[in-house]
């Protein structure tokens, strides 16, 4: 059995955070949470997760700023980043892409959509076998 994927979740809204946890709890992920981008970045540096799920709009360090910091760090740059946002316009998705998004999930999200997107991002990030 493969090891559980470690996922850092950065979300400042406790209700949304709980929805994410409930959505992913039976998928075998080890979820580590932070209430803002700065705490999330510290957690990411320390834990070296397999994926990051982050809200875009948070006080202090936003999800976009968090993604920039992750992408600029040589040991973290390849970690897939899923943005969560209520902003669903194409321009918002394009901005997410400019900041290194692997995927963009709009709020309100369906649990199945979040699970499938995270599984896809993790699979996509696995190295190709030789």
> What residue spans of the chain are helical by DSSP H?
14-24, 37-47, 63-72, 90-98, 111-125
Q: Does pTM top 0.75 for this prediction?
A: yes
The tens digit of pLDDT for each residue in 43-84 reads 999 999 999 999 999 999 999 999 999 999 999 999 999 999
At CA 14, angle to CA 5 and CA 10, rounded to 5? 40
Which residue ranges make up each domain of the chain?
A: 6-125
pLDDT bin (cut points 50, 70, 90) of residue 130 is: low
CATH topology of domain 6-125: Rossmann fold (3.40.50)
Between 122 and 99, the more confident residue is 122
Q: Are strands 51-55 and 103-106 parallel, antiparallel or unpaired?
A: unpaired
3-state secondary structure at position 19: helix
Owner of token pair 């892409």: 97
């Amino acid at each position: 059995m493969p090891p559980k994927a470690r996922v850092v979740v950065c979300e400042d809204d406790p209700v949304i955070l709980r929805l994410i946890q409930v959505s992913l709890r039976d998928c075998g992920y080890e979820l580590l949470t932070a209430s803002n981008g700065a705490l999330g970045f510290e957690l990411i540096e320390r834990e070296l997760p397999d994926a990051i799920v982050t809200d875009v709009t948070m006080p202090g360090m936003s999800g976009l700023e968090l993604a920039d910091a992750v992408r600029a760090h040589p040991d973290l740059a390849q970690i897939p980043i899923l943005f969560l946002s209520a902003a669903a316009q194409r321009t918002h998705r394009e901005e997410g892409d400019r900041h290194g998004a692997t995927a963009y999930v709009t709020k309100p999200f369906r649990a199945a959509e979040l699970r499938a997107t995270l599984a896809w991002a993790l699979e996509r990030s696995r190295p190709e076998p030789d």
